[in-house]
């Protein structure tokens, strides 16, 4: 458990690879009982998920919360769209940025905060293929520098 009363359920690891992330915002989730039990078991996926503004509401689309194993016929649909709980001002601010700047709302992580399920959304712009290659090249260069420094500290490298 985090020091701020949060406990991570899942993250969207593809988001950092596929998008340039900008503004972040926390939203609550409107869930059914069996969804809560599945999340308490730590089962969920945000891999293909995104948030969409429809009218005056925001929905999380494409997230996967598996059916609760001990549920009955009232079990939930694992991929249903779920309403996100945000203040009207926040929704209008997000709508403006999504419409005027062509940004997308991408879920970054799903977590518990003081007993309530929360999702962290980020305004994002998709990366082009060359942006992804640049990121890989930077990561490889950083790794190589770290390896060289550690070899030098151990006295293996005469340079």
C-alpha 140/C-alpha 32 separation (Å) is: 44
Question: What is the three-class DSSP state of 40?
Answer: helix
**Cβ neighbours for 102, distance < 8 A, ≥ 6 positions apart:** 125
Distance set, CA 149 to CA 53, 137, 140, 143 (Å): 48, 18, 14, 10
Q: 89: pLDDT confidence band, cut at 50, 70 and 90?
A: very high
Q: What pLDDT sits at residue 118? A: 93
pLDDT of residue 44: 87
Q: What is the tens place of the pLDDT at every residue in 32-42?
A: 888 888 888 88
The reply to whether the predicted model has a pTM over 0.85 is no
The CATH superfamily label for domain 6-127 reads Small protein B (2.40.280.10)
pLDDT value at residue 35: 83
DSSP assignments along 96-112, one per residue: HHHHHH--EEEEEEEEE
Q: Which of 10-24, 74-88, 111-125 has the highest average model confidence (pLDDT)?
A: 111-125
**pLDDT at position 111 over 90:** yes
């Amino acid at each position: 458990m985090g020091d701020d009363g949060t406990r991570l359920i899942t993250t969207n690891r593809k988001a950092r690879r596929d998008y340039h992330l900008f503004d972040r915002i926390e939203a609550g989730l409107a869930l059914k009982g069996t969804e809560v039990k599945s999340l308490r078991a730590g089962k969920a996926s945000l891999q293909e998920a995104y948030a969409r503004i429809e009218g005056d509401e925001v929905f999380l689309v494409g997230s996967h919360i598996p059916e609760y194993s001990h549920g009955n016929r009232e079990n939930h649909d694992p991929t249903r769209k779920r309403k996100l709980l945000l203040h009207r001002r926040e929704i209008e601010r997000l709508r403006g940025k999504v419409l005027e700047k062509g940004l997308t709302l991408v879920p970054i992580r799903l977590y518990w905060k003081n007993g309530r399920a929360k999702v962290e959304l980020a305004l994002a712009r998709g990366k082009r293929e060359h942006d992804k290659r640049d990121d890989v090249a930077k990561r490889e260069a950083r790794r190589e520098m770290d390896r060289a420094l550690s070899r030098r500290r151990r006295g293996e490298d005469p340079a």
